[in-house]
Structure 1
Amino acid sequence: MTPSSDGHAAGAIVFVGPMGAGKSSLGKRVARALGLPFTDTDTAIVRAHGPIAELFAREGEARFREIEREAVRTALEGGGVVALGGGAVLSAETRERLRAHRVVLLTVDETAIAHRIRGQKRPLLNGDVDPVAEWARIRAEREPLYAEVADAVFDTSRGPTQRTVERIVAWLRGDEPADDETTARAARTEEES
């Protein structure tokens, strides 16, 4: 899906990527810059079901993913700017839904993530694991799925957050290229034509 000149094409603007990449914080700022509503699916889940770590412990990952799929569906129907949880792309149903929206993949390297996730409670990084090594394993497992849905990629590892926001808004308006215009989604779109 191509960006529009005003950043307001049909469908939502969706942020995907690994945990800690900045989907929620950048998503809010991009929404504000474009005058659009913002929805964070993790926040919606917490509002309806309580803390995600407790939901994982109480009902397991499979049930959490069901709840997440419904939260994603609802958020996408609402339009605006939507930040998805890092694992939302594990669902084939969610990946299919994302075809109708502009998807921004945020990436981050291990050095930057080590500072960002230190001391945070994240369900998949708890226990007797090295959090950065586990984060890297999860990211590597999900990378092909992120690439499948992404229209553009922006690296959030370094540089001022506001500059990243400005670059994303410029890309959405068609004024500036992304760090990477992904080829997987472009190839899939050509096959469908």
Structure 2
Amino acid sequence: MSESRAAVVLIGAPGAGKTRTGKRLARLLDLPLIDTDARVVAAHGPIATIFDELGETQFRAWEREAVASALGERAIVTLGGGAVLDAATRADLEGLPVVQLTISADVVESRIAGGKRPLLRDGIGAWQAIVEARQPIYDSLSSLTIDTSHIPLDTVAERIVGWLETRA
């Protein structure tokens, strides 16, 4: 595994627990966590505001910059659910350990209710449509998929560490 590239990348549906699992992985592996959405927010402000004032196209451009930078760092990297829509991002993920986290609609519904996710303002129906559209991309990019619906995220992180050890 290259020292100058991401140690593991978490992708998947909004609300699946990528950031929270990433924090646990970072502790277990003693590596920094890079949440690309957090980097966009730190540089440009709240994602909902970016969507409302500048549009999704501008958000995706800034997201792409954050992803390209993050993937070049030795860290646990979590991508926003839509980051994989970018062809350059998909190309950058080649050869990296990519884990997809999934979650069932009934479990995610409470996580996304009243949230700040601009594409999910219409609720669980919007979430289902987005996930259905993106699922083939998630599947094509990931080497490991874990459903987080009914598993503690500490267990999810431990499974990912075990999987990474088998790849070493």
What's the TM-score, normalizing by structure 1?
0.82
Q: Which runs of 5+ in 1 are unaligned?
A: 1-8, 176-193
Q: Which letter does structure 2 place at the counterpart of 1:153?
A: T
Instruction: Give the Cα separation in 2 of the matches to 1:83 and 1:41.
Output: 6
1:133 aligns with 2:125: yes
Instruction: Give the Cα separation in 2 of the matches to 1:135 and 1:61.
Output: 16
Q: How does 1:12-23 map to 2 (within 5 A)?
A: 12=6, 13-23=8-18
Q: How does 1:20-99 map to 2 (within 5 A)?
A: 20-99=15-94
Q: Which runs of 5+ in 2 are unaligned?
A: none
Alpha-carbon offset, residue 79 of structure 1: 2.2
Q: Which letter does structure 2 place at the counterpart of 1:140?
A: E
1:142 aligns with 2:134: yes
Q: How does 1:131-170 map to 2 (within 5 A)?
A: 131-170=123-162
Q: Which residue of 2 aligns with 1:119?
A: 114
List structure 1 segments (4+ residues) > 6 angstroms apart after TM superposition.
Answer: none
1:105 aligns with 2:100: yes
The alignment's C-alpha RMSD in Å is: 1.1
Q: Which letter does structure 2 place at the counterpart of 1:14?
A: V
Q: Which letter does structure 1 place at the counterpart of 2:131?
A: R
- Deviating more after overlay: 145-154 vs 40-49: 145-154
Alpha-carbon offset, residue 119 of structure 1: 2.0
- Deviating more after overlay: 103-112 vs 9-18: 9-18
Instruction: Give the Cα separation in 1 of the matches to 2:46 and 2:19.
Output: 16
Q: Which letter does structure 1 place at the counterpart of 2:36?
A: T
Q: Which residue of 1 aligns with 2:163?
A: 171
What's the TM-score, normalizing by structure 2?
0.94
Larger Rg: 1
Q: Which letter does structure 2 place at the counterpart of 1:103?
A: V
CA contact (8 A) 2:112 2:120 kept: no
SS at match of 1:78: coil
Number of equivalent positions: 164
